[in-house]
Structure 1
Amino acid sequence: MFAVLKTGGKQYRVQSGDVLRVERLAADAGEKIQFNEILMLGGDSTVIGAPLIAGAAVQAEVIDQIKGEKVIHYVKRRRKHSSQRTKGHRQLLTLVRVTDILAEGADTSGVKAAIGSGTKAPVEAEPAPAAEAAAEKPKRAPRKKAAAEAQE
C-alpha cells in the first residue's frame, strides 16, 4: 500500500519503511508524528481525494533534525560595475521514517500532527483593550481653537 502526502508545499509518494527528508517540522528526534494531508491512497483499490481523503493519515517517526546541502547564489554585474556578491543558504530539514499508513481512523489515533516549525498557532479573537481605552479618553481641542484661546 502507498500514499501520496503533502507537507511543506511538496508532495511525496511513500510506503511503509520509507525515509524522507521534509521541510522542518516542530518535533524532536524519536517522536512519533502523523501527516493528515493525504491526497491519494493506492494498493488493491485506489482512492483519490477531492482534494484530501477524510480520515486517512500517514504515521512516521522523526529520526533527526538536519540541514540540507549548501546552495550558493553568485551574482556578478558586468561592464563598468565591477561588483560581485556571494550568498549561501542551507535549508533546515527533518528526517522521518514512515511507519504506518492509515486508510481511516486517523482522528482517534492520538498521535501528534506534523506541523511545520514556521507555522503559528491559531490565535483566538479577543477584544482589544486599547480600543476601549481610546473610546473613553476625551478628544483634544483642534489646534486653531487652542491657538485662539492662548492669544486671549
Structure 2
Amino acid sequence: MYAVIKTGGKQYRVAAGEKIKVEQIPADVGAEVTLDQVLMVGEGAAVKVGAPLVAGASVKAVVLSQGRHDKVTIFKMRRRKHYQKHQGHRQNYTELRIEAISA
C-alpha cells in the first residue's frame, strides 16, 4: 500500500517502513506525527484519488531526526562590471519514518 501526501508545499510518494526527509515540522524527536493531507491512496491496481484530498485517509509517521541539508552555494557575477556576490543557504529538514497508512 502506498500514498501520495502533501507537506511543506511538496508532494511525496510514501509506503510503510520508508524514511523521507521533508520540510521542517515542529515536533520532538520520537514523537508521532499524523499527516492528513493525503492526495492519493493505492494498493495494487486499486487507486483512490482525492478531489483534492482523500476523505478519512491519514498517514502516521515517527520523527527520527531534525537537521540541516548540505550547504548550497549561490554565486552571482556580472562580467566586466566588478560585481560578485557570494551567498550560502542550508535548509532545515525533518526525517520521518512512515509507520502506517490508513485509507
| Alignment gaps of 5+ in structure 2 | none
| 1:24 lines up with 2:40 in the alignment | no
Relative to the length of structure 2, the TM-score reads 0.96
Q: Whose helix fraction is larger, Structure 1's or Structure 2's?
A: 1
Query: After superposition, where does 1:1-152 map in structure 2 within 5 Å?
Result: 1-44=1-44, 45-79=46-80, 81-103=81-103
- Matched letter for residue 62 of structure 1: V
1:28 match: secondary structure: coil
Q: 4+ residue stretches of structure 1 with deviation over 3 A?
A: none
- Matched letter for residue 77 of structure 2: K
* Alpha-carbon offset, residue 82 of structure 1: 1.0
Distance 2:72 2:83 in 1: 20
| Alignment gaps of 5+ in structure 1 | 104-152
The CA RMSD measured in Å over matched residues stands at 0.8
* Alpha-carbon offset, residue 83 of structure 1: 1.9
- Matched letter for residue 27 of structure 2: A
Percent pairwise identity: 45
1:129 matched residue in structure 2:
none
Distance 2:35 2:91 in 1: 21
* Alpha-carbon offset, residue 85 of structure 1: 1.0
